[in-house]
A = this chain, B = another copy of it.
Amino acid sequence: MLVFVAILLCYSGFSQNPQQEIKEDFKPSSKNQPGQEYPQVNSQGYARFRIVAPAADSVRVSLGLGGQGGTKLEKNEEGVWMGTTAGPMDEGFHYYHVNVDGGTFNDPGAKNYYGSVRWESGIEIPAHDQEFYALKNVSHGSVQQILFSSPSTKTSRRAFVYTPPGYYENRDKNYPVLYLQHGWGEDETAWSNQGHANLIMDNLIAEGKTAPFLIVMTYGMTNEIKWGGLKDFDIKHFQTVLVDELIPYVDENFRTIADEEHRAMAGLSMGGMETKMITLNKPHVFSHYALLSGGTYSPKDLQNHKDLKLVFISCGSKERPDAVKNSVEELKAAGFNTVSYISEGTAHEFQTWRRSLHELAPLLFN
């Protein structure tokens, strides 16, 4: 299970072809704080950073060259530290931070996103397919924070619920539900903040490509997990919160179709591991299972899952696409309705998972 941590720590989203000439068409990243000019990205995927710390001796950014300390900034005549990645970055969203004289800080220009068990800086390299998660002039659903009672953990826990456009007007309609989990070191804010799950759904629904359903996102590291602590992970804690506490709350407080046939579970990375564990432990709660960069199922795993409607397994082309494809071939041969998806040119990062959700949603609840 430590593989997820290792992947997150080692991979920095660095792309090929570092020798090309850098085009000077840099623009502020779409993930910047209001009014902030830096960090910037150019049309080739290079990122440029600017940090004010006139008396510092050393400023580095964690992005740019995995395993080699990222991008070293240089102080210019005005006392401002600047630097550009040595090559283009992969399309999509990347977490990063800044090292100032040996200390870890965030870039004051960028917004923060919870990853690596801390609020990290975020930057967006514009993707060729970014329209599918863009904010458009279509009907929008809402994302609401709920606090549900959790006797097993003796507190009220937070979840976010996406309700599709029309949910409030169509007061007699009930909806299926997808339970969607984040990865290791992230939390229940990830899928809507950096994943844009709500915009992906709004756009798909506006195009008539998916039936509307609810998405429920909650925190999946129920017991305190510190760095590397996944070896002590016990799924029972989160399984109790999800199956015995959250699902009943959602079915009581939202207009759901409260049965196995209309309930799906999906997760990215560690959330995929949790999806696999919980769907195997509780075979009659969900009928659609999806693992996004989060492992595979074997036919034997699923031999008693007779009501299973769909298995979806995905990853980025820079991860282990062969493992995904092989698993899906085996599941298909064994008669399971299985779909694989490989995100071209991306690794263990959110662009892979945005695209995976975009592929998955139209397949659910048909």
Q: Are A106 and B106 in contact (CB-based, < 8 A)?
A: yes
Give the CA-CA distance A115 to B186 in the complex, in Å. Answer: 24
Decide yes or no whether A208 CB sits under 8 A from chain B.
no
| Interface assignment of A156: CB less than 8 Å from any CB of chain B | yes
CB distance A102 to B119 under 8 Å? no
Contact A103 B103, CB 8 Å, known A142-B145, A145-B142: no
Question: Given A52-B103, A52-B104, A53-B103, A117–B34 Cβ distance below 8 Å?
Answer: yes
Which of B100, B156, B198, B254 has a CB less than 8 Å from the CB of A103? Answer: B100
Q: Mark A50-77, 1 if CB is under 8 A from B, else 0.
A: 0111111110000000000000000000
Contact A101 B54, beta carbon cutoff 8 Å:
yes
B101-A53 in contact (CB<8A): yes
A340 to chain B, nearest CB (A): 33
Whether A54 contacts B145 in the complex (CB less than 8 A), given A119-B112, A155-B135, A156-B140, comes out as: no
Over the window 128-149 of chain A, the binary record of Cβ atoms lying under 8 Å from chain B Cβ atoms (1 yes, 0 no) is 0000000111001011111111
Chain B residues with Cβ below 8 Å from A118 are 33, 108
When the two chains form their complex, are residues B143 and A144 in contact, meaning their CB atoms are under 8 A apart?
Answer: yes
> A100 is contacted by which of B34, B79, B105, B202 (Cβ under 8 Å)?
B105
Q: In the complex, are the beta carbons of A224 and B35 less than 8 A apart?
A: yes
Q: Is A300 an interface residue, CB under 8 A from the partner?
A: no
Pick the most buried of A111, A143, A147, A202: most chain B CB atoms within 10 A of its CB: A147
> Quick one: given A33-B118, A142-B144, are A55 and B102 in contact (CB under 8 Å)?
yes
- Are B108's CB and A104's CB within 8 A? yes
Q: Is A231 positioned at the interface, with any CB of B under 8 Å from its CB?
A: no
Contact A53 B100 (CB under 8 A): yes
By a CB distance below 8 angstroms, the chain B residues around A103 are 51-54, 56, 100, 108
The reply on A16 being an interface residue by CB < 8 A is no
- In the complex, which range does the number of interface residues on chain A fall in? 35 or more
Task: Kindly state the separation between the CA atoms of A148 and B136 in the bound complex, as whole angstroms.
Answer: 11
Q: Which of B34, B146, B168, B171 contacts A142 (CB 8 A)?
A: B146
CB distance from A171 to the nearest CB of B (A): 6
Q: Are B111 and A137 in contact (CB under 8 A)?
A: no
- With both chains docked as a complex, state the minimum distance between the C-beta of A288 and any C-beta of chain B, in angstroms: 25
Interface assignment of A304: CB less than 8 Å from any CB of chain B? no
- Any B CB within 8 A of the CB of A169: yes
Write out the residue numbers on chain B whose beta carbons fall within 8 Å of the beta carbon of A23.
none
A253 at the interface (CB under 8 A from B): yes
A136 to B104, CA, bound (A): 35
Task: Using known A-B contacts A106-B106, A253-B169, determine if residue A144 contacts B147 with beta carbons closer than 8 Å.
Answer: no
Per-residue interface assignment for chain A, residues 197 to 226, with 1 indicating a CB less than 8 Å from any chain B CB and 0 otherwise: 010001000000000000000000000101
Given contacts A53-B100, A55-B58, A79-B102, 14 further A-B contacts (CB under 8 A): A35-B117, A35-B224, A52-B102, A52-B104, A55-B101, A103-B108, A105-B105, A105-B106, A106-B108, A140-B146, A142-B145, A144-B145, A144-B161, A171-B171
